[in-house]
Structure 1
Amino acid sequence: MSLLTTLPTWAIALLIFLMRIADVSFGTLRTISVVQGRIRLSVLLGFFEVLIWVVGVSQVMAGFDENPILAVAYAGGFAAGNGVGIAIEKRLALGSVVVRIISPNHGERIAETLRVQGYRLTTFMGQGRNGPVTLLFVTCRRREAPRIIRTAQGQDPALFYTIETLRERSVELLTPLPHVTGWRAYLKMK
C-alpha cells in the first residue's frame, strides 16, 4: 500500500473510481449468476468483488480525512459500476430464455423457418382477440432471441412476442447448426 501513498491524489481517486466500477460490475454479474443458479461463477465473481472492494475501501478510509475527493470517487465508481455491470451483462447475454411468439397470420411458416435454422420449438393453435392464432414456444440461449424475433417478424410483422428467462430445463440447449449450403449441400445430395 506504500506505493499508493506516493501517487498524487487525482491518481488515487481515479484508481478508486475504476476499482469501484470493477467491483460493482462483478457484483451485478454475481447477482444475476446467483439468480440463474450458476454456483461456480457466483463464487468466483464474489471473491473478486469483495477483494477489490476491500482494497478500495481501505484506500478511502486511509485518505478520507485529508482528501474527501476519494469519497466522491468511491461514490462515483459505485454509480458508474451499476451501469457498466448492466451493459456487460446485456452484452454477455447469459442464460436461456423461452421466446413466445403469437402469430395471427403466418405461424406455421415461422415455425418451419425456425426449424430449418435448427431451433427446437412447439406450436399450438389458439384463439386471440381477433380470431385464430398460432403460438410458438422457442427455447434458446438468450443471445439468440433477437435473431429469432427478427426472423419471425420478417415472416409476420403483426406478431406479438414475449421473452421470459428460463431457470431450468430438461435437456441441454444445442446451438442450431447452420443450414448446409454451397458445396456441402451438393455433397449431401449424393
Structure 2
Amino acid sequence: MNSEIWLTCVFIVLARITDVSLGTLRTVAVITGRRYLAFLLGFCEILVWVFAVSKVVQNLDRPAFAVSYAFGFALGNFLGITIENRVALGNQVLRVFTRMGKEVAETLRAHGFPVTSFLGEGRDGPVSLLFIETRRKDAVTVTRVARDIDPACFYVIDDIRMASTAMQLHQPTGWRAIIKKI
C-alpha cells in the first residue's frame, strides 16, 4: 500500500474513534436530559461521521478502508466508555444497608456527604438504611468509606435523572458553572 492509502486509513480510524466517542457522550447527555449538550455533540458526531463514511463509500474497491472503519468503530466504543467513566456526568443515589448505620452516617457526613438514615428489618435482624445523593465521581468514595467501617454492608447505586432542589450538592462556579448549563 502506498502512503496515501495508509494516511486515509489513519484518517478513517481517527474519525471513527472521534464520532463514536462523541456518540457515547451524546447518549449520556440525552439520558440525563442535557438537551443543548446533546445537540452540540450530535452535530459534531454526524459531521465527523459523514467525512469518514464518504471515504469508505467512495472507495468500496479498497477493503483496507472498510477494515479501518470497523477498527475505528471498535476503538471508539472503548474510548467513549472510558471517557464517560472518567467524566462521570450526573448524580447518583446510594442506598447503604448496614448494621453500623450511626458510625457510617457520621463518617460520611464528616466527609461532606448528605446522609438520610432509616431503621429497617433485614433477614438477620435490624439494619440501618442510608440514603446518600452524590456526584457520580464521588460514589466510589462513599462505598469505600462505608466498606472501611462495615465490610459486610450492602449497597445499591442508582443514577438520578431528576431530583428536587431541597438538598443541593456542591455547585460549581465560574467556567464550570457555564459548562454545566450546556
Q: TM-score, normalised by structure 2?
A: 0.89
Q: Is the 8 A contact 1:107 1:135 kept in 2?
A: yes
Sequence identity of aligned pairs in percent? 48
2:13 to 17, 21, 26: 17
Q: Is the 8 A contact 1:123 1:134 kept in 2?
A: yes
1:168 to 143, 162, 171: 162
Matched residue of 1:87: which SS?
helix
CA distance in 2, matches of 1:142, 1:154: 19
Unaligned runs of 5+ in 1: 1-5, 177-190
Look up the equivalent residue of 1:89 and give its one-letter code: E
Query: Superposition pairs for residues 118-133 of structure 1, below 5 Å?
Result: 118-133=112-127
1:30 to 26, 30, 43: 26
CA distance in 2, matches of 1:87, 1:173: 28
2:38 to 35, 42, 47: 42
**Structure 1 residue 81, shift from structure 2 partner:** 1.0
Matched, 1:92 2:87: yes
1:61 to 49, 57, 64: 57
**Structure 1 residue 63, shift from structure 2 partner:** 2.1
Which deviations, in whole Å up to 9, do the C-alpha atoms of 1:35-61 show, x marking residues without a partner? Answer: 110111101100110000001011112
For the aligned residue pairs, the C-alpha RMSD in angstroms reads 1.5
Q: Is the 8 A contact 1:26 1:48 kept in 2?
A: yes
**Structure 1 residue 173, shift from structure 2 partner:** 3.6
Structure (1 or 2) with the larger CA radius of gyration: 1
Q: Is the 8 A contact 1:18 1:77 kept in 2?
A: yes
Which deviations, in whole Å up to 9, do the C-alpha atoms of 1:141-167 show, x marking residues without a partner? Answer: 000000011111111111000100001
Unaligned runs of 5+ in 2: 172-182
**Structure 1 residue 27, shift from structure 2 partner:** 0.5
**Structure 1 residue 7, shift from structure 2 partner:** 5.6
**Structure 1 residue 107, shift from structure 2 partner:** 0.7
Matched residue of 1:132: which SS?
strand
Q: Is the 8 A contact 1:140 1:173 kept in 2?
A: no
Instruction: Count how many residue pairs are aligned between Structure 1 and Structure 2.
Output: 169
Q: Which residue of 2 aligns with 1:147?
A: 141
